[in-house]
């Protein structure tokens, strides 16, 4: 489990290697990750955008930007949380993901919320330092 707190928003990520969707002989590896976003701030927040930086073990970087998450732009009042599951394919057996969300408070101010860096490493391999 990987966790980051920014401006009272806690983001927790749990990555899991998905063997059934992977094919190492063809250099295809797939991870699912579960994200929980908890609003422990004293303001209502709307998740507007996401940004991911995905780096594989060869140093190849892919950046993903978009509106919301899984087609939603959730609004979180104080004490509420939102969770979702998504996935990431890689052409190498290890990598790392990190990112951020842009959220807007009820006063119209934009906040950048950190998503913690987390490894994408096969369960039976020693972690790779990326």
Residue 32 within a domain: yes
Q: Mind listing the pLDDT tens digit for each residue in 19-59?
A: 999 999 999 999 999 999 999 999 999 999 999 999 999 99
pTM of the predicted model as reported, rounded to 2 decimal places: 0.92
- The full 3-state SS of the chain, as one line of letters, equals CEEEEECCEEEEEEEEECHHHCEHHHCEEEEEEEEEEEECCCCCEEEEEEEEEEEECCCCEEEEEEECECCECCEECCCCEEEEEEEEEECCCEEEEEEEEEEEECCCCEEEEEEEEEEEECCCCCCCCC
Residue 76 within a domain: yes
Residue 42 within a domain: yes
- What is the domain range of residue 13? 2-117
Residue 123 within a domain: no
Q: Mind listing the pLDDT tens digit for each residue in 46-103?
A: 999 999 999 999 999 999 999 999 999 999 999 999 999 999 999 999 999 999 999 9
Residue 130 within a domain: no
- Structurally, the chain folds into a number of domains equal to 1
Residue 124 within a domain: no
Residue 128 within a domain: no
Residue 122 within a domain: no
State the CATH number of the domain containing residue 100: 2.60.40.1470
């Amino acid at each position: 489990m990987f966790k980051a707190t920014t401006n009272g928003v806690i983001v927790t990520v749990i990555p899991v290697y998905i063997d059934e969707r992977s094919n190492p002989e063809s250099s295809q590896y797939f991870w699912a990750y579960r994200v929980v976003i908890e609003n422990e701030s004293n303001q209502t927040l709307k998740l507007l955008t996401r940004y991911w930086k995905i780096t594989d073990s060869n140093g190849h970087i892919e950046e993903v930007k978009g509106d919301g998450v899984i087609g939603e732009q959730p609004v979180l009042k104080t004490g509420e949380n939102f969770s979702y599951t998504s996935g990431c394919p890689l052409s190498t057996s290890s990598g790392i993901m990190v990112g951020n969300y842009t959220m807007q408070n009820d006063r119209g101010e934009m906040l950048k919320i950190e998503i913690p860096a987390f490894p994408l490493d096969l369960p039976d391999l020693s972690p790779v330092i990326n």
